[in-house]
Structure 1
Amino acid sequence: MPPIDGTTTPPAPPPRPGDILNYVYLFSTDAAAGRDEGVKERPVIVLAADASGIVVAPITTKGEIPDSDTDAIPEVVATAMGLPRPQESYVVLNEANEFDWRGHDVIDLKSGGFLYGRTPPGYFAKIIRAIQARLLKPLDRR
């Protein structure tokens, strides 16, 4: 609903690859079980962002996820990324969601805005190489 004074809030600009968003991620196992919505908000790393959509990979901040292919984020890197539990953060390398900007599953943080922070370039390049090696097809959330 627009404000009463007739003004509108400009849409948020799309994120850039390497940004860390707050997002309700849908894991492929949940989708296969019939769910069409994720279970909870979590940080995700933006892998790609262009006119065809946004592709993100989930980050867990509570340790490894059983039966997932993960990469432990070094604590100093996780801290730089703005993650809430840097000592227990992992990128899940065998999962991705794709959606149009700004999807309803992008959730603002209590601190305002939807960004935790950014991934340092060297670590981002490592994650992109690892995910590309898996020939991952993102789960389409449009």
Structure 2
Amino acid sequence: MPPPEPGDVINYIYLFAHEAAAGRDEGVKERPVLVIASDAMGVAVVPITTKGEARSSRSDRIPDPVARAMGLPRAGESHVVVNDVNDFDWRGHDVIDLKTGSFLYGRCPPTYFQKIVRAVQASAALITDRR
């Protein structure tokens, strides 16, 4: 199965950097994540949360129309965390299929995707290597 494309929103058990620093090797729950880079071997993703900023995270509130286009279940409450990245081999065991049988929620509109990529690059993001 080929990896998702940058801009895809997939279902994944995300491991935050503060959780990894505390010794965890698995995330707490599955959540939508935005694919910011991918190639034949691996994928880099940033988490989407409905709780806004988590701990020392920087986040960007996703506008409602963008969230709906991304297929997010709680459009009015979603944020992308831009300073925390997971990098993992494709297809890792933490990619979870939704009830639809696919791991894909939807796609991020290109203009908003570029905004998030720039924010991640500017944030000196903490990268958790899960390879």
Instruction: Identify unmatched segments of 5+ residues in structure 1.
Output: 1-11
Q: TM-score, normalised by structure 1?
A: 0.88
- Give the Cα–Cα distance (whole angstroms) in 1 for the partners of residues 29 and 120 of structure 2: 23
Instruction: Identify unmatched segments of 5+ residues in structure 2.
Output: none
Between Structure 1 and Structure 2, the one with more strand by share is 2
- Give the Cα–Cα distance (whole angstroms) in 2 for the partners of residues 66 and 29 of structure 1: 8
Instruction: Please tell me the root mean square deviation across aligned C-alpha atoms, in Å.
Output: 1.2
Q: TM-score, normalised by structure 2?
A: 0.95
Number of aligned positions between the proteins: 131
Q: Which has the higher contact order (CA 8 A, sep 6+)?
A: 2
Identity of aligned residues (%): 66
Deviations 1:100-138 (A, max 9, x none): 100000000012100000000000000001111123252
Is residue 61–residue 84 contact of structure 1 (8 Å, CA) maintained in 2?
no
Which has the larger Rg? 1
1:75 match: 64
* Distance of aligned partners of 1:137 and 1:30 in 2 relative to their CA distance in 1, 3 Å threshold: closer
1:1-142 to 2 correspondence within 5 Å? 12-142=1-131
Deviations 1:8-34 (A, max 9, x none): xxxx22100000000000001111111
- Letter matched to residue 117 of structure 1: G
